[in-house]
A and B are shown apart, each in its own frame.
Chain A
Amino acid sequence: MKQSIIQWFKFGSPQAFYPLAGRMIPWFWAAAAAFGIAGLWISFFVAPTDAQQGEGYRIIFVHVPASWMSMFIYLVMAFWAGLGLALNTRLSGMMAQSLAPTGALMAALSLWTGALWGKPMWGAWWVWDARLTSELILFFLYLGFMALQAAIDDPRRADKAGAILALVGVVNIPIIYFSVKWWNTLHQGSTINLTKAPSMAHTMLWGMLLMALCFWMYSIAVALTRVRAIILERERHTDWVKHAVE
């Protein structure tokens, strides 16, 4: 037990984490590719054509996992941020910073695919559907986080300020989500729901699951790659980085 705690603290230092992340990245890329191929194969060739929505519904295989990831990444980001504030570990802030662009990408992807799906379904690129609206707000929260970090020069201060914002955001996300949902029902919004596609077949669920796993692996691989770059940038004046880059 004690041994494992020491191990964790060891990998909490950027210097120890850098090579570990380097070794893990190829595996996550490989897993992402494998899950992606399997997921796309099911979603394009195995899953049946939907009786009502035709072939267009297949975009949910990207839309739903992207939405999940965008929300989940914010939680993970807030977790790292909180850890960084509580324990004052340098790596936590770097992890939070490296996750934000991927989270924003997922939110943007979810919005874009939502719009593409909405055009044939609702006849409009944008509908003030509760899910899409909350996704848009989440996208703004990511942008705010990244803008705040970019605006502060001192990286340690940027980490801490970003951490507070992420924690404030994570408290607000459920409130925002339910308020938007309430607002939507009050205004008699669209009744078609993306995730509750009629006759959700078993194969569709599998396709979605595999795609979600693919997005997971992709996000981890990208975040680790980015965190390695951040470590190099921030620690560029230390001896080990000069040694590692050579």
Chain B
Amino acid sequence: MNAFLATVRRDLLLALRRKSEVLTAVFFFVIVTSLFPLGIGPEPVLLKKIAPGILWVAALLATLLGLPRLFAADHVDGTLEQMALSPSSLGLLVAGKILAHWLLCGLPLVLLAPVLGLQFDLDASALGILTLALLLGTPLLSLIGAIGAALTLGVRGGGVLLALLVLPLYIPALIFGAGAVEAHIAGLGAGGHLSLLAAMLALAVFFAPWATTAALRIALE
């Protein structure tokens, strides 16, 4: 467990020394969501209707932006090799890296989403549901994305390939995440969507670090 926390601390410390990389994903999220009203027109009814989808798709893409870096730097400088040979379980270290990725790339999106939701005329309760859905959904995106990042590690054209592998797997998160907000606005209640998101998150917490570890060991061969 100490090794898990040490990995989180290490990756946060590294990100702190390279702030620009973290901020890129956040700015990307802000810019993409702000582009939609410019492209579609400022009609409040329409914007309110498409807001959950736009915010979720933007969150998806912003998470994707940070994924190639998840293991690449450690792979290039050889520290990933050292992790694979560490007496601590690699799965634990990988889980730590995924948590750090979420804290750096996912959590800022969750915190920013209510502010961006205001641009789309969402009311307070819808903003609450949006934040809650993202809080459950963004860790799921980090977990699934880590598998893709490990599989494409050191592979030609890894970044584009990563998007091709990971985006189809993100679809359930997108459907239930955006669906929760839409259902709430439609007065249907978001409970079902949110519990399904939570169930998928539980499943991913269990399986994703394991699959990621297996993929990393293959990449290191």
Contact = CB atoms under 8 A, between A and B. Distances in A.
The answer to whether A and B touch directly, with their CB atoms under 8 angstroms apart, is yes
B209 to A, nearest CB: 12
B211 A157 contact: no
A165 B165 contact: yes
A143 B188 CA distance: 37
A144 B179 contact: no
Contacts, number: 74
B179 A186 contact: yes
Interface in B136-166: 147, 151-152, 155-158, 161, 164-165
Contact of B161 (A141, A147, A169, A183): A147
A77 B18 CA distance: 42
A190 B108 CA distance: 38
B12 to A, nearest CB: 27
A55 B68 CA distance: 51
Interface residues of B, number: 30
A179 B164 contact: no
B155 A182 contact: no
B151 A161 contact: yes
A160 B172 contact: no
A143 B221 CA distance: 25
B179 A183 contact: yes
B195 to A, nearest CB: 12
A140 B168 contact: yes
A51 interface: no
B152 A168 contact: no
Nearest to B217: A160
Nearest to B183: A186
Contact of B171 (A85, A143, A157, A180): A180
A31 interface: no
A148 B218 contact: no
A164 interface: yes
A164 B215 contact: yes
Interface size band for A: 20 to 34
Nearest to A85: B214
B176 interface: yes
A175 interface: yes
Contact of B176 (A148, A151, A157, A179): A179
A231 interface: no
A175 B202 CA distance: 13
A130 to B, nearest CB: 11
A75 interface: no
Given A164-B211, A164-B215, A182 B175 contact: yes
Interface of B: 147, 151-152, 155-158, 161, 164-165, 167-169, 171-172, 175-176, 179, 182-183, 188, 196, 200, 207, 211, 214-215, 218-219, 221
- Which 4 pairs across A and B sit closest by C-beta, in order of nearness? A179-B172, A140-B168, A144-B165, A179-B175
7 contacts: A148-B155, A151-B157, A168-B211, A169-B169, A175-B172, A180-B171, A186-B183
Given A151-B158, A179-B175, A180-B175, 13 more contacts: A140-B167, A144-B161, A147-B161, A151-B157, A157-B218, A157-B219, A164-B151, A164-B214, A164-B218, A167-B211, A168-B147, A172-B169, A175-B200
